[in-house]
Structure 1
Amino acid sequence: MTVDVILPCLNEEAALAWVLERMPGGFRPIVVDNGSTDRSPQIAAELGAEVVREPVRGFGSACHAGLLAASAEVVCFMDADASLDPGQLSRVTAPVVDGSSDLVLGRRVPSEAGAWPAHARLGNAVLAGSLRRHTGAPLHDLGPMRAARREALLALGLADRRFGYPLEMVLRAAAAGWRIGEVEVDYLPRKGRSKVTGTLRGTLTAISDMRRVMAEVRAG
């Protein structure tokens, strides 16, 4: 089975080659360029990835554009900053492919000190705890490496186009009765500066977006 791997991308030229060159056989990369001003789209194309242009800025915009462009039955999402090893994608896809889970997230395990800044790790833990209480989903991390079936994801009607997109996916999947699982994956020091975890402001923006989405989904 071929699996499409959606890689939202904004100025990741320092990391893309490492990510794409480690993509396992059977996994087809779709790099969604979200307005890069560096050579990210050119590097992706040179290394054989499908390149999708999404002019509307936003993490959710890039993720959803990749989902629409994908054609495989099973799709994965992962960051393009080399903080996650594509060689471990099969860990999250296997339970979806064999039918034991409907949505699987990679629980990040830092590979070394400093790979996951304390402010970002704390914010993630608070949100994951809230998610467990409100949905019962056995998650400890809103990990960016995740897998599910494409048509089922589209049927969820995900609407957020900012940093709340990953959370909305889990909330709506839980509400729909999906079997949600978690597996451990290595979390590596990213190449370049993160738009989210690299700054306190970025982390707070992401948390704000996710809290808004949680309130909207619960109210709806």
Structure 2
Amino acid sequence: MIDVVLPCLNEARALPWVLTRMPAGFRPLVVDNGSTDGSARVAAEHGARVVDAPVRGFGAACHAGLLAATAATVCVLDADASLDPAELPRLVAALDALEAAGGRPGLVLGRRRPAGRGAWPPHARAGNAVLARTLNRRAGTRLRDLGPMRAARRAALAGLDVRDRRFGYPLETVLRAAADGWAITEIDVAYRPRTGESKVTGTLGGTVRAVRDMRRVLAEAAS
């Protein structure tokens, strides 16, 4: 069994598609981060385990999901239907191969490839590219995306002791993993237009907040 952490804030419209696309052997943990649209109820009705994360923030939701997970392998996936859960087995297979080849903990990220008009607005793509280049210079990685679809081992992730509880959480995870000598790679995944109102990549304000949080993490790592 593999646990799938799904940070969730008002994704009632998207959750049915996401949860019905979950592959066999992958157990969804919907981390409700203060939703007011009935997301928790919808998740439970579709067989997901609901985890409450009352402290608002993407990183806070990811951390709560990681603490609630019990499987040896954990995936993280946005709950907005922009990424297809059916692609998760490919990430886990890549993780298995990466660790078998290198003998080190592994982290596999999904490199987003837009599939549909409006899936990834230019401002969000540009911000992501700048951050990825900065990360690569700092950490010695060769990533082109800081995508939200990921796979790793639960115990190793918990051992990284990631502290950020906002949008800097994904970046700090990669920074700490690279510093600890993990093998890190990415594989292409389709990136669809999200269902419902966008809170980050679909809005200029959301992108600015995410970039600001990630720059803060980079600055703290360099100090």
Deviation at 1:73, TM superposition (A): 0.4
How large is the RMSD of aligned CA atoms in angstroms? 0.9
Q: Secondary structure at the match of 2:87?
A: helix
Equivalent residue for 2:159? 155
Equivalent residue for 1:179? 183
Deviation at 1:96, TM superposition (A): 2.0
Identity of aligned residues (%): 66
Q: Secondary structure at the match of 2:13?
A: helix
Distance in 2 between the 1:95 and 1:113 partners?
28
Deviation at 1:133, TM superposition (A): 1.3
Q: Gaps (5+ residues) in structure 1?
A: none
Deviation at 1:95, TM superposition (A): 2.3
Contact 2:120–2:202 (CA under 8 A) maintained in structure 1: no
Deviations 1:68-116 (A, max 9, x none): 0000001000100000000000121112234246000000000123110
Contact 1:74–1:97 (CA under 8 A) maintained in structure 2: no
Equivalent residue for 1:9? 8
Contact 1:107–1:184 (CA under 8 A) maintained in structure 2: yes
Q: Gaps (5+ residues) in structure 2?
A: none
Distance in 2 between the 1:206 and 1:136 partners?
22
Shift >3 Å, 4+ stretches? none
The correspondence of residues 93-172 of structure 1 with structure 2, limited to 5 A, is: 93-98=92-97, 99-100=99-100, 102-172=106-176
Equivalent residue for 2:34? 35
Q: TM-score, length-normalised on structure 2?
A: 0.96
1:38 maps to a residue whose letter is D
Distance in 2 between the 1:4 and 1:61 partners?
17
Equivalent residue for 1:195? 199
Q: How many residues align?
A: 218
Q: TM-score, length-normalised on structure 1?
A: 0.97
